[in-house]
Structure 1
Amino acid sequence: MKGKITLFEFPFNLGLTKKEHEIEPGVRKLPDWLKKLGFHERISPEHIYRLESPAYAMNFDQETGVKNPEQIVEYAKKQSELILKNSDKNTFNIILGGDCSILIGTAIALKKLGSFGLFYLDGHTDYIPARLSPSGGAAGMDLAIVCGLGHEKLTNIDNQKPYFLAENVFCVGNAETDDEEYVGEIINSKINYFDLYKVRKNGFRKTSEDFLALINEKNLDGFFIHFDVDVLNDKIMPCVDSRMEDGIDYDNLKEILQPLIHNEKCFGIEITILDPDYDPNGEYTLPFIENLIKIINNED
């Protein structure tokens, strides 16, 4: 991993649909929650940058089939500018969400920097068009959007479509495999797709090494890691928006992330969907922080 760490806080939640008992999704509290539990202090970032989120809304847009598209686009542009202004080749960037739609802003920034790959580690594919989304939440379509599938308002911000070429993307860890139409979208794409069962068969470290081989073979400028914590087993990470029983454990996570984070071409990692409202005592977040710091510090 590169020596210096820059921390970006994007407490954005307009890509999610709130549940009946919620005033708004609690994922926007994640940066402050991690700071309270000591994450910031322990990683000692050189700089911390933050972009406040607009007020929560659930405005469904008929044209795009997505909720809150105007706010998502505006935020993504500002996010991209903040990243471009405050990152350099010698810095490892840790980006804290928020929901998964924060990937859009980062993707735009990376497209403006060069040709980048994406390692998409998530308990869902998030690769569907709006017509297949029951909620219209961009957080469930973000991989599709950054690869150019969806309405031009979201997929072609600043005329940068596609932000990632599908063939330069690994989508890893999807446990939602029983919906043929949902899974069919990514199977029929050019994305390198490893659902939960395939990644177990291929090997966790081997899958990351295969991705790094692709990055080197194509001589890409670098790559980025998207890490939605719902890829973790429900027993160790139940405080997420869309829970599923199966998932990877912390040993698996280490095998996946260590080769990636400590590769010189890694631009950084984003962490999304952990909802502090579902973990009021830090029962699940504290072990998460411990394991993540060990990975970042390359500890055994």
Structure 2
Amino acid sequence: MKRAINIFEFPFNLGLTKKEHEIEPGVKKLPDWLKKFNFHTQLNPSNIFRLEGPEYAMDFDEETQVKNPDQIIEYAKKQSDLILKNYNKEIFNIMIGGDCSILIGTAVALKKLGNFGLFYLDGHTDFIPPRLSPSGGVAGMDLALIAGLGHEKLTNINDLKPYLLEENIFCVGNAEVDDQEYVDQVINSDVHYYDLYQLRENGFQKTAEDFLKIVQDKNLDGFFIHFDVDVLNDKIMPAVDSRMEDGIDYHNLKEILVPLIDNEKCFGIEITILDPDYDKDGLYTRAFIENLVQIIKK
């Protein structure tokens, strides 16, 4: 990593439905949690920007069929403004969530900057309409929303629909393959889809290179990486909202991310869903930081 780094902290959790034992999802603590274990210090960012999230709620909206749409839209607009205000194409941006719904604000910003691609690395597709969501949580449908699938209020902020084109998106790493209706949504789209097992078959580095070829061939203005830590194997990262038994390891992660991060068109990466409440001693977080810092600084 030769470029300077900006860190954006987005401690936002309104895209998730809290579990019965929770007061609220703990993912909003992630920026402070990573800072505690010297993630920020090791990366030595030029700037750290922060946008506080609103108070937690579970307000189901009949019109959009999701929870907390108004708060999510308002936050996405502020998030987009903060990103654009501090945009410098020479700088690599690291967004720390929060839940996956923070992708919306970044996608709105990217649409204003040009025609961008997205490498969506996640243990789920998050590519479903509200009718298939048992919880109504936007974090489970954020990829669909940024590609234009869902209610206009969320998909057409500032008349920018779609924020990213399906054909410029790679959805990679889904381990939730048993529900055919769930998987069919992304299969029947123009998104380039590699579930966990197809990813292994195609090769980790090769999948990243296949994506970069599209970026080059289409002469995209840039691309962004979404990294939901639940794509990692449960043995090395159980501190997530929706655990999946299978997943990739840190060696696989390095094979995927290094060619992407090294590419000059990489706008940055967002890190989501690591919940400090499920890693009280920081055991999994320490290993996570050690590996991710090595990958970013390589």
Cα distance in 2 for partners of 1:89, 1:37 equals: 28
2:215 matched to 1:228? no
Q: Distance in 1 between matches of 2:169 and 2:244?
A: 24
AA paired with 1:199? L
2:30 maps to 30
- Note closer, same or farther for the CA distance 1:161–1:2 as it changes in structure 2 (3 Å cut): farther
Contact 1:6-1:87 within 8 A present in 2 as well: no
Q: 1:75-90 residue pairs with structure 2 within 5 A?
A: 75-90=75-90
Alpha-carbon distance in structure 2 between the residues aligned to 1:271 and 1:242: 15
1:140 aligns with 2:137: no
Q: CA deviation at 1:87?
A: 1.6
1:2 deviates by: 4.8
After superposition, the C-alpha distances for 1:115-171 in whole angstroms (9 at most, x for unaligned) are 000000000000000000000000000000000000000000000000000000000
Runs of 4+ in 1 over 6 A off after TM superposition: none
List gaps (5 residues or longer) in structure 2. none
User: What is the distance in 2 between the residues matched to 1:244 and 1:35?
Assistant: 26
Q: How many angstroms does 1:114 deviate by?
A: 0.3
Native 8 Å contact 1:107 1:164 kept in 2: yes
CA separation in 2, counterparts of 1:2 and 1:141? 34
Cα RMSD (Å): 0.5
What secondary structure is seen at the aligned counterpart in 1 of 2:283? coil
Whole-angstrom distance in 2 between the partners of 1:5 and 1:140: 29
Hey, what does 1:205 align to over in structure 2? 205
Question: Tell me, what secondary structure is at the counterpart of 1:88?
Answer: coil
For residues 196-231 of structure 1, give each alpha carbon's deviation from its aligned partner in whole angstroms, at most 9, with x where no partner exists.
Answer: 000000000000000000000000000000000000
1:276: which partner in 2? Answer: 276
User: How many residues of Structure 1 are paired with residues of Structure 2 in the alignment?
Assistant: 298
Partner of 1:177: 177
Offset at residue 272 of structure 1 (A) = 0.0
* Secondary structure in structure 1 of the residue aligned to 2:101: helix
Query: Which letter does structure 2 place at the counterpart of 1:270?
Result: E
Q: What is residue 94 of structure 1 aligned with on the other side?
A: 94
Matched with 2:123 is 123
2:132 maps to amino acid? L
Q: CA deviation at 1:297?
A: 1.2
| SS of residue matched to 1:294 | helix
1:107 aligns with 2:110: no
Residue 14 (structure 1) aligns with: 14
Indicate the residue corresponding to 2:262 in structure 1: 262
Q: Given the superposition, is the C-alpha separation of residues 64 and 2 from structure 1 closer, same or farther in structure 2, using an over 3 Å criterion?
A: farther
Deviations 1:230-249 (A, max 9, x none): 00000000000000100000
SS in 2 for 1:173: strand
**Length-normalised TM-score, structure 1:** 0.99
Name structure 1 gaps, 5 residues minimum.
none
1:50 is aligned with what amino acid? R
Q: Work out the CA distance in 2 between the residues paired with 1:228 and 1:146.
A: 16
Aligned partner letter, 1:234: D
1:3: Cα distance to partner? 1.4
Counterpart amino acid of residue 181 in structure 2: E
TM-score (norm 2): 1.00
- Match for residue 64 of structure 2? 64
Identity of aligned residues (%): 75
- Contact in 2 for aligned 1:10/1:98 (Cα 8 Å): yes
Which secondary structure state, in structure 1, belongs to the residue aligned with residue 7 of structure 2?
strand
Give SS of 1:284's match: helix
- The amino acid across from 2:83 in the alignment is I
Distance 1:258 1:202 in 2: 17
- 8 Å contact 1:2–1:264 — kept in the other structure? no
